[in-house]
Chains A and B, each alone.
Chain A
Amino acid sequence: MARYGEYYARTLEAEKNLSADDYTEDNKRKKKRTQGEIDLPFLMITMIILGIGLIMLLSASFARAYYESGNPTKYFVKQVFFSALGIFAMMVISRLNVNFISRFSFLLLGASLLLLAAVPFIGMDEGGARRWINLGITTFQPSELAKIAVILSFATLSCRFKEKMKTFKYGVLPFAVILGIIVGLLMLEPHISASIIILAIGAVMMYLGGTRLKWFVMLGIIAAAGGFLVLTKFGYAIDRIKIWKDPFSDPLGDGFQIIQSLYAIGSGGLLGVGLGQSRQKYMYLPEEHNDYIFSVVCEELGYIGAMLVLILFALLIIRGYWIALHAKDRYSMMVAAGTTTLLFLQVFLNVAVVTNLIPCTGISMPFFSYGGSALVLQLAEMGIILGISREIPIKRAG
């Protein structure tokens, strides 16, 4: 800690005369000077995970694709296309200055809110919920956009409020209002898992932005109370908790999905049943190419393979935080750390759900789960981090 502190104190000397508001102009001026190489380890790990993700998507999806349409590579081909699109987006965004991107923070937030407000009306009905907007070639969840909008706008606000972040009026209220509106709109869809992620990422951004910890304690208490109320008053939630505690209490009904997932993961054992050899993907696992793709990874590649994937994710996340810690300014640091945390939240919640660590909800696995717009956005987010990595001040030797 101390060493990083010193390091930062030193690297930030260059900006000693700049206020947060001056970043943009300053960077425009320094662009040529400071834009270095993108962070190769972060890019490499991203590409490796994406590669493994594509292979596993092919393996996980071909059975269902075959039975649905007769074309076993239906999902895979689409995913490859969107991977290419995502990589392109990632490389373009990595060239953009993060402070340039920050200009669009509120525009993005506003667009997200508008889309979220529109989704209950124009979205596709899927099992009683409207979460998706059909774009023709693919579908798109406005909640995905809201996540990155929250990161960018919260970072911008934090940097603008400066020390006022310590107060309730600035440090909590505006953020809480924004989150409240977003979650309120998400409840209309309804979309619980996205709400959880947005609340979590919002809290993390506030935490990074300097909101005092006591508010988190208070928020935590309120959340716990609210959660308790929901769990005891709403039958739907109680059922979820019951299934979570004992999936076998209703093996053919509500417990079916999680049991099938556990069967898949458990049958993997240490070394797995072999790539492509999953048996649970043959219509037993629901959403095996989507939310439950990690179960197929566990079944086919075993504990070793699953851990390898998780270690790659851990390395990517740690490297993301490393980039944040080395970012040229506080705004970049917050955006990088926030984006990295978003990635973490998705990975963790997905694994936690498919392994029944937490009650079942629908969260996809970054780079693995099938989904065009989500994949492009995830890669674009990686592009933002890579863009920040470019601007890490070159450390002088010695």
Chain B
Amino acid sequence: MASKNKKFIQKANVQTQRRTLSLVIVCGIAAFLVMAVHLYNIQIVKHDFYEQHAIEQQLRQTTISASRGTIYDSNMKVLAMSASVETVFISPAELKMYNENPEFIARGLSDILGVDYNSIMEKWKDTGSWYKTIARKIEQDTADKVRDFKNKNNLKSIHLEVDTKRYYPYGTLASQILGFVGTDNYGLEGIEAKYDDYLQGTSGRIVRATTANGTSMLYTKFEDYVDAANGNDVVLTIDSNIQYYLEKHIQQAIADYSIKNGGMGIVMNVKTGAILGMASIENYDPNNYQKISDKAQEKLNGLTGEDYLKKLAEAQISQRRNRCISDTYEPGSTFKSFTLAIALEEGLVNDKSTFYCGGTVAVPGRDTPVHCWKSAGHGSQTLAEAVQHSCNVAFVNIGLMIGAEKFYDYMEAFGFFEKTKIDLYGEGQSLWWDKDVFEDRENKSQLAAASFGQTFNITPLQLITGISCLANGGKLMKPYIVSKVIDKNNNIVMANEPTVVRQVISAETSKKVCEILETVVNGGESTGANAYVAGYRIAGKTATSEKIGQGSDDYIVSFVGFAPANDPEIAVLVILDTPDPASGIYISGGIMAAPAVGRIFADSLPYLGIDPIYSEDELSSRNITVPSVKNMSVADAKSALEGSGFSVRVIGSGGSVTDQVPAANVSVISGTEVIIYAGEAKPEAMVYVPNLYGKTYSQAKNTLEAAGLYLRTTGVAPSASSSTIVVSAQSLSSGSQVAYGTVIEVTLVESDTSIMETRG
């Protein structure tokens, strides 16, 4: 038994021992070799494959938008700037990964952002995507609400991304010049587009390893920064004040004269070619560049579907158009300035030249004679009078004296055949006859028409550039709108210097042209009288031209002027497109555009530091500020007021002044009678404003005085004798109730249509 046991144990032990040894081989060696080979395969052989995939999921690349440069006006006022906003996006892939509730998130985002719930639900369906934009460029406070929602509910599939938004603090001001940027921060129009390379900067990026939740890894700092290079700032030659004056007065003219197709205007520094203001009305707000004006929207009412979208797109494109450089028009009589300059430069005419106008002039090659706008004719005129009258017959004769070849060469020299190369996109191409057609010896009709500015097309910018050349001593300047590009440390990156393209006419001729054009405004019975500004020497020329290819009722009226005439600084052009004849107002550049230019000068010249110099006549009829005489002794007050050019009436018997009418610091026309109260109370009664429209200066003054009101004038110089200088507007409408002694400002215009050039 023992022996059997022993034998068994021995045998069993050997078996167990053998089987243990087999386990050593299988479990201790073979299996580990299998693992070693398998790991080698994954870690060494397929290393690159797995590493690349791992890195792809671990690395998040975040773009750092470069801060887009600011656009400044010439006084470093901000016209366009960028601010940080945020973009909200969702990640359907992460929604699935973390098993989050799409309805809940869609509801939450829809509530906060006002985005359509169903559109968010639709975006969740692309489960492979990590990036579906929900709302772009939202303000910081809204972004914070989204962040709260995300954090409070610990949502991993909502993300926020820093972005920038463009702000235009002045809204519509200079909108076509500034342009706007698209959602991807690229400039699409105007300066934003033209100077995009400077403004854009280079966006940087952060590459960083993140946890599956998208947050930074602890201690494992794997980050790579490429700094964003911020965009440079662009400084414009535009002066926002002048731009404002320009836009305001064009808008006023459009309203006053029922202009159907809007207006354009440019203010240029004649010596440098710098654009100080440039406007096309209607304009738009680049903060919301898709929105069209209410007026344009009205026209779309009732349209649906594709028709609506098409018209909407047309309206958007139209309001974004910088018509001053893109559109061409028939300049009309303003162009006579060039004919005049050429003739003077060539020595063909002088002060002693006389021109007879019998109403028509025959032109070789033309079946019918050219008519003067005044069919009765202007009779015999001096050169200056021919310009003042804007006499077509005289200018056809001057043109014929110059000859087609010479005229054509000058046109080329004034730059009318080529683009001005201003630093903006979209400059239009002028429309001219071919050289051989224009120089046809048998047919001078082209030359005749060109002499008074008709049947060809140029851009408004080309016209004012040429006018500046006439005004500045004969140098054709290259117009420019950006003065410099600067970096954040104010280092100049790029600067535009005034560039002389060529000398076209001599300084002497320029001087003579200035003198003659000044008489168009100051010369008594002349077409440009309404551009007059007291204290300033304004030179200019009117135009009323028929729109080519349009019905005979469609006109473009314009006025181009420059000042001071003895040493011109700025030129102003205002073009009004298609006054509505139904308004009953006499359609003429002198009636409609000249007052607007006058007002622009009246605002701009003092602003630019050009002091008015008043003539004797002007001194007696200008507006002066009433000094404060309250609490002075009656004698002192009297002498102070009389010294300022007022007459004085004293009411009451006190020793010192208790009140005065008009109130201190208002400006009224000189010679006004100021009432001072010495102890006696000022009447508290309210008075009605009388209707002054159409009244002459004297009538208006008397009417107001009778009502206990005071007068201040603007527009052409007040003249007690003229019966054609009348009130065209008053600052407070008739019938309104005002306090006794209130000052009413009236606009005076020259209303003599017999001297105001028109067409047809």
B42 touches A352 (CB 8 A): no
Contact residues in A for B40 (Cβ distance below 8 Å): 303
Say whether A122 faces chain B, with CB atoms less than 8 Å apart.
no
Task: Say whether A252 faces chain B, with CB atoms less than 8 Å apart.
Answer: yes
Could you give, for residues 5-49 of chain A, a 1 whenever the CB lies within 8 Å of some chain B CB and a 0 otherwise?
100110010011101100000000000000000000000000000
Closest approach, in angstroms, between the C-beta of B526 and any C-beta of chain A? 84
Assembly CA distance A298 to B213 (angstroms): 23
A4 touches B50 (CB 8 A): no
Instruction: List residues of chain A with CB within 8 A of the CB of B18.
Output: 1
Is B83 part of the contact surface with A, judged by Cβ < 8 Å? no
Is B93 a contact partner of A252 (Cβ separation < 8 A)? yes
Distance A210 CA – B13 CA, assembled complex (angstroms): 9
With a cutoff of 8 Å between Cβ atoms, the chain B residues found around residue A321 in the complex are: 20-21, 23-24, 27-28
Nearest to A72 among chain B residues (CB) is B218
Contact with A along B205-238 (1 / 0, CB 8 A): 0000111110101111010000000000000000
Q: Which of B51-59, B445-453, B530-538, B742-750 interfaces with chain A?
A: B51-59
Q: Is the CB of B10 within 8 A of A12?
A: yes
Most buried by B among A266, A302, A306, A321: A266
- Chain A proximity of B131: nearest CB distance (Å): 16
Q: Is the CB of A330 within 8 A of B13?
A: yes
Q: When the two chains form the complex, which single residue of A208, A333, A355 contacts B38, counting CB atoms closer than 8 Å?
A: A355
B299 at the interface (CB under 8 A from A): no
Interface assignment of B29: CB less than 8 Å from any CB of chain A: yes
Tell me how many residues of A have a C-beta within 8 Å of chain B: 70
CB nearest neighbor in B for A314? B32
Contact bitstring A246-284, B, C-beta under 8 A = 1, else 0: 000000100010010011111111100000111110111
**A334 on interface, CB distance cutoff 8 Å:** yes
A-side contacts of B28, CB under 8 Å: 314, 317-318, 321, 344
Closest partner residue, chain B, to A336 (CB atom): B20
Nearest-neighbor residue (CB-CB) of B220 within chain A: A277
Measured CB to CB, the nearest residue on chain A to B96 is A252
Question: What separation, in Å, do the CA atoms of A49 and B735 have in the docked complex?
Answer: 103
How distant is the Cα of A276 from the Cα of B23 in the complex, in angstroms? 36
For window 41-100 of chain B, which residues contact chain A by CB distance below 8 Å?
A: 42-44, 46-47, 49-51, 53-55, 57-58, 93, 96-97
Report the nearest B residue to A272, measured CB to CB: B43
Which residues of chain B are near A345, meaning CB under 8 Å?
Answer: 27
Q: How far is the CA of A318 from the CA of B32 in the complex (A)?
A: 11
For residue A271, which residue of chain B has the nearest CB?
Answer: B43
| Bound complex: CA A208 to CA B26 (Å) | 14
Q: Check A4–B218 contact: CB distance below 8 A.
A: no
Indicate whether A150 reaches chain B with its CB closer than 8 angstroms: no
* B23, A204: Cβ atoms closer than 8 Å: yes
B5 within 8 A of A: yes
- Interface pick from A59-67, A80-88, A180-188: A59-67
Q: Does A373 contact B (CB under 8 A)?
A: no
Q: How far is the CA of A4 from the CA of B16 in the complex (A)?
A: 12
Q: A270-B44, A355-B39 are in contact. Are A283 and B211 (CB under 8 A)?
A: yes
B159 CB to closest chain A CB (Å) equals 16
- Kindly state whether residue A325 has any CB partner on chain B within 8 Å: yes
Q: Which residue of B lies closest to A64 (CB)?
A: B211
Tell me if A341 and B23 are in contact (CB < 8 A).
yes
> Which residue in chain B gives the minimum CB-CB distance to A351?
B35
Residues of A within 8 A of B19 (CB): 207-208
Counting CB contacts under 8 A, is A237 at the interface?
no
The reply to whether B10 and A325 contact each other, CB–CB distance below 8 Å, is: no
A325 to B24, CA, bound (A): 10
Residues of B contacting A1 in the complex (Cβ-Cβ under 8 angstroms) = 18, 21
Distance in angstroms from A342 CB to nearest chain B CB is: 10
A375 within 8 A of B: no
> A364 CB to closest chain B CB, in angstroms?
16
Bound Cα distance A256, B97 (Å): 9
Whether A267 and B38, one on each chain, are in contact in the complex, defined by CB atoms closer than 8 angstroms, is no
Does A324 sit within 8 A of B, measured CB to CB? yes
Contact A348 B31 (CB under 8 A): yes
Which B residue sits closest to A280, measured CB to CB?
B54
Contact A310:B42 (CB < 8 A) given known A1-B21, A17-B2, A267-B47:
no
**B43 x A302 contact (CB < 8 A):** yes
What residue of chain A has the Cβ atom nearest to residue B57's Cβ? A284
Assembly CA distance A265 to B2 (angstroms): 58
On chain A, the residues within 8 Å of B17 by CB distance are 4-5, 8, 325, 333
CB distance from A234 to the nearest CB of B (A): 25
Known: A269-B44, A341-B27, A344-B31. A12 touches B12 (CB 8 A): no
In the bound assembly, the distance between CA atoms of A277 and B209 in angstroms comes to 11
Bound-state Cα–Cα, A340 to B28, Å = 10
Which residues in B have their C-beta under 8 angstroms from that of A17? 2, 6
Q: Which residues of A contact B222 (CB under 8 A)?
A: 279
Residues from chain A with a CB closer than 8 A to the CB of B36 are: 307, 310
Minimum CB–CB distance from A182 to chain B (whole Å) comes to 22
Contact status B32-A334, CB under 8 Å? no
Q: Are A262 and B42 in contact (CB under 8 A)?
A: yes
Verify A306–B96 contact, CB threshold 8 A: no
Q: How far is the CB of A337 from chain B (nearest CB, A)?
A: 5
User: Does B614 count as interface, using CB distance less than 8 angstroms?
Assistant: no
Residues of B within 8 A of A311 (CB): 32
**A38 → chain B closest CB, angstroms:** 20
A303 lies within 8 A of B39 (CB): yes
Nearest-neighbor residue (CB-CB) of B46 within chain A: A266
Question: Given A4-B21, A210-B16, A325-B21 in contact, is the A266-B31 Cβ separation under 8 Å?
Answer: no
Say yes or no for A383: interface residue by CB 8 A criterion: no
Nearest CB on B from A362, distance (A)? 19
A266 and B51 within 8 A (CB)? yes
Q: In the complex, what residues of A have CB within 8 A of residue B127's CB?
A: 252
Q: How far is the CB of A85 from chain B (nearest CB, A)?
A: 28
Contacts of A337 in B (CB 8 A): 16, 20, 23
- Cα distance, A4 to B24, chains bound together (Å): 14
A125 located at the interface, meaning its Cβ lies under 8 Å from any Cβ of chain B in the complex: no
* Chain B residue nearest to A343 in the complex (CB): B27
User: What is the distance, in angstroms, from A323's C-beta to the closest C-beta of chain B?
Assistant: 10
Q: Does B720 contact A (CB under 8 A)?
A: no
Say whether B255 faces chain A, with CB atoms less than 8 Å apart.
Answer: no
B20 touches A324 (CB 8 A): yes
Q: Contacting A263 at CB < 8 Å: which of B8, B9, B57, B209?
A: B57
- 8 A-B residue pairs with CB within 8 Å: A5-B17, A12-B13, A266-B43, A284-B57, A307-B39, A318-B24, A330-B12, A330-B16
Given A9-B10, A67-B215, A264-B54; 18 other pairs, CB 8 A cutoff: A5-B14, A8-B13, A16-B6, A63-B218, A72-B218, A208-B19, A252-B97, A262-B42, A263-B50, A266-B42, A266-B43, A276-B219, A279-B217, A282-B58, A282-B211, A284-B212, A298-B42, A357-B38
